[in-house]
Structure 1
Amino acid sequence: MKQNVGDYSFEYKKRQQVKFMHAVVFFVSVFVFISIFLNCILFSVFVNSSSMETDICRGGIVFVSPFMRNPSRGQVVYLSRIDGQGVSAGKRLVNTAVSFFSLYKFTPFGRNSRMTGNDSIRRVVALPGDSYYMKDFVLYVKPAGQPHFLTEFELSARPYNISIYSVPVEWDGMGCSGQIPETTLGKDEYFVLADNRIEGLDSRIYGVISSSRIKGRVLCQVFPFGKAKLF
């Protein structure tokens, strides 16, 4: 039986439409999977400040696990913005798409002032119930129930570096203080510090944080490749 041109054209268009729909479903499925993975399992963060140098460099990319929200002393965490303003589900979806295609260097929503409008990466140095004081930019901690103060480095399970340098005399009174009197943390209070103790904004400026502000634990730095490391 001879097939006319109209029948052939119809079948061809139908097959093309099916292929197009399969392609759309595939790309949507991949995008949804990536979005769920990045938001719920493991997501990357582009570091756009020098507050955690030298261990985490400016311009680097780190991976964060949102499942790990109960940090130990010395661990690095990803914190929500200080002003408490959230981002809607729709904007988070747009942020995920834009950050993915911009290699995690740009998100259109959720950024405002430098101090309060950005999420940040900081190191947890004292836990609920701990007593602490700071001398010459080094934190001394007496864990809850313990009799003696130890340096932050002695209590950390992994070694880390901090950045301290001399500042001009005319800077006296500016920036973060290197001295803090003895204080005891209450329930669900964490004291966090930037590794760059001179320039970084941390609990010395905005006070202790609660666990609700911890969005996840920083597991590793993957870029630049020469400075890749685990935390």
Structure 2
Amino acid sequence: MMAILEFIVVCLAIVFVFKGIIMPIKVDGSSMYPTLHDGDLAFMSRLDLNSKQIKRFDIVTLDCKQLDNVIIKRVIGLPGEKIVYKNDCLYVNGKYIKENYLNKSHIKDVKSRYNISYFTDDFEISVGENEIFVLGDNRVNSLDSRELGCFKIENVLSKKGIILFPFNHMKGMN
């Protein structure tokens, strides 16, 4: 009887952790490459998902109703901001913002391979209140807010975390 009770307690604890604290996610596709690779397994945090805790450049998972799927992207625009990309440069409310997380050699390779001038095509968008604007790190191969529109804060399922598998990809995600 005690073993059954212990088993039930352990199962409930596991459910609580995975429903309330940690979200396992398997990366599907190359939209976040080279930061994340197709097939990477990560655990991401379900804590602090309100608009004050979500920061620019956080990696987040989102409940994407349009695709009926969970997607993983990087936060670029926060509530109420005007986002402009011009000549591969990000401007937020008119101020240039450096994107240090982007892999320069990957960008150069992609531009050469696809014979394109810009990694991120020029665009302009205003982010609504209680919304975020997200992009994949692999801009030429990402279905993101440019096509799907901004996401409501309540659509954020998790943020940040750690890649656990494969072991040679193990690292923290910021």
Give the TM-score normalised by structure 2.
0.82
Match of residue 199, structure 1, among 136, 141, 152: 141
Q: Is the counterpart of residue 63 in structure 1 residue 46 in structure 2?
A: no
Match of 1:229 in 2: 171
Cα contact 2:23–2:158 (8 A) shared by 1 = no
Report deviation, 1:81. Answer: 2.4
Bigger Rg over Cα: 1
Match of 1:6 in 2: none
Please give the secondary structure, in 2, of the residue aligned with 1:128: coil
Deviations 1:149-204 (A, max 9, x none): 21351xxxxx41255414657x9xxxx97221x33322112110001111111000
Stretches of structure 1 that go unaligned for 5 or more consecutive residues are: 1-20, 84-115, 154-158
Q: Is the counterpart of residue 178 in structure 1 residue 121 in structure 2?
A: yes
Match of 1:41 in 2: 21
Q: Which one-letter code corresponds to 2:96 in the other structure?
A: L
Q: Is the counterpart of residue 118 in structure 1 residue 48 in structure 2?
A: no
Match of 1:32 in 2: 12
Please give the secondary structure, in 2, of the residue aligned with 1:59: coil
Match of residue 86, structure 2, among 119, 135, 141: 135
> How far apart are the structure 2 equivalents of 1:122 and 1:79?
8
Q: Which one-letter code corresponds to 1:196 in the other structure?
A: N
Cα contact 2:81–2:126 (8 A) shared by 1 = yes
Stretches of structure 2 that go unaligned for 5 or more consecutive residues are: none
Report deviation, 1:52. Answer: 0.8
Please give the secondary structure, in 2, of the residue aligned with 1:198: helix
Alignment length, in residue pairs?
163
Deviations 1:38-89 (A, max 9, x none): 1101222111221111111111111111112131111111101223xxxxxx
Give the TM-score normalised by structure 1.
0.63
> How far apart are the structure 2 equivalents of 1:189 and 1:215?
14
Cα contact 2:31–2:142 (8 A) shared by 1 = yes
Q: Which one-letter code corresponds to 2:7 in the other structure?
A: F
> How far apart are the structure 1 equivalents of 2:140 and 2:96?
22
Structure having the higher strand fraction is 2
Match of 2:102 in 1: 161
In structure 2, relative to structure 1, the CA distance for the partners of 1:152 and 1:213 (3 Å cut) is farther
Match of 1:220 in 2: 162
> How far apart are the structure 1 equivalents of 2:54 and 2:98?
14
Q: What's the % identity of the aligned pairs?
A: 27
